[in-house]
Amino acid sequence: MQVVRLHGPEDLRLHDEPIPTPGPGEALVRVKATGICGSDLHWFHEACIGDARVVKPLVLGHESAGVIDSGAQRGQRVAIEPSIYCGKCEYCREGNPNFCEKLIFAGSVPDDGMLREYLAWPAQCLHPLPDALSDADGAMLEPLGIAIHTVDLGHVRPGMTVGVFGCGPIGLLVLQVARAAGATRLIATDLPSVPHRLQAARSLGATVFPADSSHQESAEILAVTGGRGLDVAFEAAGENEAVEAAIAAVRPGGRVILAGIPADDRTIFTASIARRKGLTIKLVRRMKHTYPRAIRLVESGAVDVRSVVTHRFPLKESAKAFSMAQRREGLKIIVEGE
């Protein structure tokens, strides 16, 4: 089978490797679609995220869907949950498997991911897809799960005004989930150099303000909210400028949820502003128990994941797909299997 491995910064190579044999409790899955995530781009560009570094060739990819190719469920289309948790540690027992002490996460050092033709994966991590959802829809359930967990952390309630700072795929999904949670006013910002992202946010019903280094967008948000500010601000850019803008735009007593991953592993903001406002600031650690909700949101039409997918590449052209994603062309890029 064909496998794509990262050997170093921007060094993706196609390998021919044996098809894996499923172990106890596992199924063989033929991978049909894999999305390229912002964290994948960090691995691709820097061969590291924070203090985790690629020391041996790594298979990227954790947003995937496929078809079971073994056992009694052969032929069943599934979304592939990338997290394998122990279910026994303190955090799992508390209902927080995203903090599992023995967590295996596809496509993150040291665990190989899903940019390959086949993988053996625990059956408990395979979620059957309704006929109405395509393979690409199934791959989008993972970033949608991140968005669901992000909005959960924001405690969004009906009638709230929320803002999203960074309108890549996660930011666009956060907008939709916040709307489904009852937010009645959506505001979004991103750099003017990515006008397609701003237009995508506008098409979802958000009031859009281009971002700049002076944080003029924060002043504009305060103006359109009558000086009150946002109830909840979601940062999904991975840039300190976006964090500062979010803190400046949120109301006193509000929440700021940081979903972005900074390239230099540092998040910096003006402490006096956040302190005087008495803000609650939370960071997103992946997701937990979101696949059933994600499937229902897409199946019901409450969230449109298809509008976020703009480009598709075959597995053998994964390097081209990553280069396009790194240039911020389009929105979500999908790598497709046979």
Judgement on whether residues 124 and 151 belong to the same structural domain of the protein: no
Judgement on whether residues 150 and 258 belong to the same structural domain of the protein: yes
Q: From CA 98, how far away is CA 277, in angstroms rounded?
A: 30
Judgement on whether residues 153 and 61 belong to the same structural domain of the protein: no
> What was the pLDDT predicted at 200?
97
CB atoms within 10 A of CB 149: 22
> What was the pLDDT predicted at 47?
93
Q: From CA 100, how far away is CA 89, in angstroms rounded?
A: 7
Percent of the chain at pLDDT above 70?
A: 100
Average pLDDT, integer, range 200-214: 95
CATH number at residue 312: 3.90.180.10
**pLDDT above 90 for 240:** yes
Residue 84's pLDDT band (boundaries 50, 70, 90)?
Answer: very high
> What was the pLDDT predicted at 214?
84
Judgement on whether residues 173 and 201 belong to the same structural domain of the protein: yes
Average pLDDT, integer, range 76-89: 97
Q: From CA 220, how far away is CA 80, in angstroms rounded?
A: 41
Average pLDDT, integer, range 209-220: 92
Average pLDDT, integer, range 205-223: 94
Tell me how many domains the chain contains: 2
pTM given for the model: 0.96
Judgement on whether residues 181 and 254 belong to the same structural domain of the protein: yes
Domain membership of residue 293 (yes or no) is: no
Judgement on whether residues 120 and 75 belong to the same structural domain of the protein: yes
> What was the pLDDT predicted at 148?
98
Domain membership of residue 220 (yes or no) is: yes
**pLDDT above 90 for 264:** no
User: 6 and 57 in contact (C-beta within 8 Å)?
Assistant: yes
Judgement on whether residues 240 and 318 belong to the same structural domain of the protein: no
**pLDDT above 90 for 338:** no
**pLDDT above 90 for 298:** yes
Residue with tokens 């791959």: 139
User: 303 and 296 in contact (C-beta within 8 Å)?
Assistant: no
CATH number at residue 278: 3.40.50.720
Domain membership of residue 294 (yes or no) is: no
Residue 263's pLDDT band (boundaries 50, 70, 90)?
Answer: confident
**pLDDT above 90 for 235:** yes
When the pLDDT of each residue in the chain is averaged and rounded to a whole number, the result is 96
For residue 79, give the nearest of 26, 129, 36, 130 by alpha carbon. Answer: 129
Domain membership of residue 295 (yes or no) is: no
Judgement on whether residues 118 and 151 belong to the same structural domain of the protein: no
Judgement on whether residues 89 and 217 belong to the same structural domain of the protein: no
> What was the pLDDT predicted at 277?
98
Domain membership of residue 246 (yes or no) is: yes
Judgement on whether residues 26 and 83 belong to the same structural domain of the protein: yes
| Domain span at 252 | 146-283
**pLDDT above 90 for 213:** no
> What was the pLDDT predicted at 179?
98
Q: From CA 294, how far away is CA 137, in angstroms rounded?
A: 10
Q: Which two tokens stand for residue 164?
A: 């999203």
Domain membership of residue 134 (yes or no) is: no
**pLDDT above 90 for 37:** yes
> What was the pLDDT predicted at 332?
98
User: 116 and 245 in contact (C-beta within 8 Å)?
Assistant: no
**pLDDT above 90 for 215:** no
Residue 193's pLDDT band (boundaries 50, 70, 90)?
Answer: very high
Judgement on whether residues 48 and 123 belong to the same structural domain of the protein: yes
Judgement on whether residues 171 and 49 belong to the same structural domain of the protein: no
Domain membership of residue 324 (yes or no) is: yes
Domain membership of residue 227 (yes or no) is: yes
